[in-house]
Amino acid sequence: MRLFDVLFLASTTTALALLPTPTPTLIPRDTATTPSPTAAPTDIYFYTTIYNTIPGVTNDHLTIPQKTLTLVLPTCSQTITPDKNGYVPPGTCGSLYQYYPSFAAAIVFSIIFGVLSFVHIFLAAKFKTKFAWVVIMGALWETISFAARSVSTRFQQSSGIELVSSLFVLLAPLWVNAFAYMVLGRLLYFFHPRRSILSIPASGLAFAFVVLDFISFVIQLVGGSWAGPNDPEAKVMKGIHIYMGGIGLQQFFIFVFLGLAIKFHLEMKAYERSGMVRSGKGWMKMLCATYASLGFITIRIFFRLIQFSAGRTSTSSGLISHESYFYILEAMPMVLAISCFLVVHPGTVIPRDEKMPGLWGIARAWVCGLRRGRGRINEEDGVKLVGRYEELEGGSRPPSYDLRPAVKY
């Protein structure tokens, strides 16, 4: 038996040595599961590659292999040493401005807006003009914006300070805009015999435009907050487009409002010529101040529309690469727009002791009038309600109202 086993093993070994060895078959790699990464652009940023794996799915109906997504994301890396104020050239990593911002100019305008805020607070308290808090908010927001800007010029690597300055300067004009709407509503209520324009009551007119102004405010706030200095370019451009839509909507509302203001102006002149309203310059001066304020805001709006239409970092637009345009077409128009209501303050024109009813008061009076069979006030009653007012002499007192019929002298 042992001799037989030895012969079997020898024959088997000889056969294996003579037969060819089979080549193993290699299974090709599934290239679909690991796609090649996108080419990373080359500029001042470094790029980080992130791999995200999506697990596969296997059930009775289908089998989906897992997928690996390769994302190349830009990572800002400072390659230039900032100066003592944190400045780096425009377009480089960490640059927040397209120019070297002026500390002195920011300080000067923060002081100017601070003075305007103080004077408005003083006059509102003197004449007891409660609704003047709206324009005071606009002046205070401008003050905060330029104060933050002055700090940002010394800490130009802090994106948070720059964002605060940008948001406040972008949204502050909406307060002044709303105040102009409220002024016209009160002029309509206290001076117009019918207390309405195109069948729109004074309270409803002021309320409607303030609501529209608030809608524009929200849209601009969303757009402005999305356009942060360190946000991705795609998000920044989307935020700019949203903001431009909001500011364009604001300008459209201003044009509609100006049409109603001109209608009020023409009707008041007609009432004066007919003798139904005694001629005077109080309402006219206040209306002209409103026109001027909205005109300055319009200049600022068109500046922003042209500026943002070129993008945030376009160096081809002088409106972006030169700081002087910012102060000439943004800061100065807002100084003048707020100052218009100091040259002719509403407290010197609108009576102190009378108050324009809100929407609830208007609705309640209308319902009571229907019950009494008087759905609206006719023109003669309007004249009796408005009465006659006298011109200011020296600007020390606002005009007083006499609810008795006007006496002919």
The string of pLDDT tens digits covering residues 200-243 is 898 899 999 999 999 999 999 888 877 666 667 777 788 888 99
Question: What tokens does 11 get?
Answer: 């024959």
**Strand boundaries in 125-258, DSSP class E:** 196-197, 200-201
Question: What tokens does 189 get?
Answer: 């209520």
Q: Which residue has the tokens 């049409």?
A: 259
**Rg of the chain over CA atoms, in angstroms?**
36
Residue 113 to residue 120: CA distance in whole angstroms: 10
388 beta partners: 402
Per mean pLDDT, which range of 16-25, 128-137, 270-279, 306-315 is the poorest? 16-25
- Which residues, at least 6 apart from 110, have a Cβ–Cβ distance to it below 8 Å? 143, 146, 147, 149, 150
Task: State the fold for domain 103-373+376-386.
Answer: Rhopdopsin 7-helix transmembrane proteins (1.20.1070)
Domain segments of the chain: what residues? 33-77, 103-373+376-386
CA geometry: angle at 190 spanning 184 and 140, to 5°? 45
73 backbone dihedrals φ, ψ, rounded to 5°:
-115, 140
Confidence label for 387 from pLDDT (cuts 50, 70 and 90): very low
DSSP three-state, residue 81: coil
Residue 124 to residue 161: CA distance in whole angstroms: 31
Q: Which residue has the tokens 């000439």?
A: 328
Residue 208 to residue 372: CA distance in whole angstroms: 28
Q: Is the pLDDT of residue 129 over 80?
A: yes
Summarised one tens digit per residue, pLDDT across range 135-155 is 999 999 999 999 999 999 999
Is the entire prediction scored with pTM above 0.75?
no
Identify whether the C-beta of residue 158 lies closer than 8 Å to the C-beta of residue 124.
no
